[in-house]
Structure 1
């Protein structure tokens, strides 16, 4: 009997211990995995100002020029002639009042406004690419030039653009030397403008002189000074006409079958040099076209 009581007591103790046991469950909180931070940047486009140049091509009936200054403009001989007719009186008036050769004024207007067909000339009557500057209180337009969307003056009439151009030259000390030249010495003025920093293009004087001599713009200087005008021998009519047989050794008239390569070999030039001399953007030639070869 005693043994049974001990056995029962033992069983009760074992059951009690088993019930009191607990199972420890440990949970670990997993930290979220951080994704690498991606920083996106937008690169600002770099603005490049178009290079100012004049590309001229000749046909049997006319000459077409692509003038690139503040904008790209395609013009013809007739358009340039019409431009000169329209603004010659204003140019002569400015010559009388401010002492700037009318021929230079007109040549600059042709080059810088694309003979009045450039964006600034059409939208703002601005024929000389004059920017707003700090003292400008009038209307303005935005246009890409040295930098994108620069401020340019807007005029109610083109004549005011011509007046501002004259005041700009006459009022700046840097251009004072120009006014020591003879009023009708267009070559000195063209070179002096470049030397004074008006333009950075090393060919700027040559371009002005070319327009003055091809379109006989010097005659308007002579009308102001009262001097006798002698037409330039290589006037526009002589250059444009394929029938003109010039004895000038620096010019070559394109014949049927000619290519830039054959002409370059004939005059011991590189094709690239020949294109540069004549402001050619491609290899296209026209019969009768005259090329500078020296």
Structure 2
């Protein structure tokens, strides 16, 4: 009897162990794999955020234009001075923002003290150790430039010119005594043409934009760009070359815009 009882217990135990093993195996089969993400993986995931790469400029002048064109356009809206003239003067007077007066005094236009009660800086110019205005921010230099021109009677005739006549402004500034350099107008015009700064005037004026272009001799023609025009089509029309049009108008490339005036010779 005892022997039968022992056999019975051994059978129950064996069945129980087998059942537990079957259930355990089944549970292992139903388990999903666990993916462990290390802290290194997390950091890589977070680093996927793109960081904007600073724009590279081919010259200090291009960077200067990008930095201050909006300021120049804002001054044009308020005071009527062409943004192209303001920027060209700033480039020329400040050495594209790298001259001592612009770096140490935020003075981009070489405006001298003339009764100025603010901060000052002394710099050799026409004479040694001359007094120049010093500003806390470059934007105040641009504003002072606008006031300097708009509040002095000797510059009053400039504001009567056509709003797009940057050549008239360039010549008028020299005639009114703004600069002593005889080639000052030509330098301003060359900068405006080279960097197409007159397009900034066009953006401000919109439909009111009217650029004034004067041919330098009777054999030249002024052509106003229309929709669909290209330098090639214009050159073909006037029996000249694209290179000749580019050289005459100081065009750095082949991009032209509707309403732009080109001198053809």
Which category describes the TM-score, using the shorter chain as reference length?
0.5 to 0.7
Matching residue of 1:114: 95
SS of aligned partner of 1:183: coil
**Residue 216 of structure 1 pairs with residue 196 of structure 2:** yes
Q: Distance in 2 between matches of 1:129 and 1:84?
A: 18
Deviation at 1:138, TM superposition (A): 0.9
SS of aligned partner of 2:90: helix
Q: Distance in 1 between matches of 2:69 and 2:196?
A: 12
1:81 to 62, 68, 80: 62
Consecutive unaligned residues of structure 1, counting only runs of 5 or more, are 1-75, 235-243, 252-294
Q: Distance in 1 between matches of 2:92 and 2:247?
A: 24
SS of aligned partner of 1:151: strand
Deviation at 1:178, TM superposition (A): 0.2
Deviation at 1:132, TM superposition (A): 1.0
**Residue 205 of structure 1 pairs with residue 185 of structure 2:** yes
**Residue 247 of structure 1 pairs with residue 244 of structure 2:** yes
Q: Distance in 2 between matches of 1:151 and 1:187?
A: 30
> Whose Rg is larger?
1
Higher-RCO chain (CA-CA 8 Å, sequence separation at least 6):
1
1:195 to 162, 175, 196: 175
Give the TM-score taking structure 2 as reference length: 0.58
**Residue 139 of structure 1 pairs with residue 115 of structure 2:** no
Give the TM-score taking structure 1 as reference length: 0.52
Q: Which moved more, 1:163-172 or 1:198-207?
A: 198-207
**Residue 148 of structure 1 pairs with residue 145 of structure 2:** no
Consecutive unaligned residues of structure 2, counting only runs of 5 or more, are 1-56, 212-224, 232-240, 249-265
Q: Distance in 1 between matches of 2:96 and 2:247?
A: 27
Cα displacement string for residues 7-49 of structure 1 (whole angstroms, at most 9, x for unaligned residues) = xxxxxxxxxxxxxxxxxxxxxxxxxxxxxxxxxxxxxxxxxxx
**Residue 103 of structure 1 pairs with residue 103 of structure 2:** no
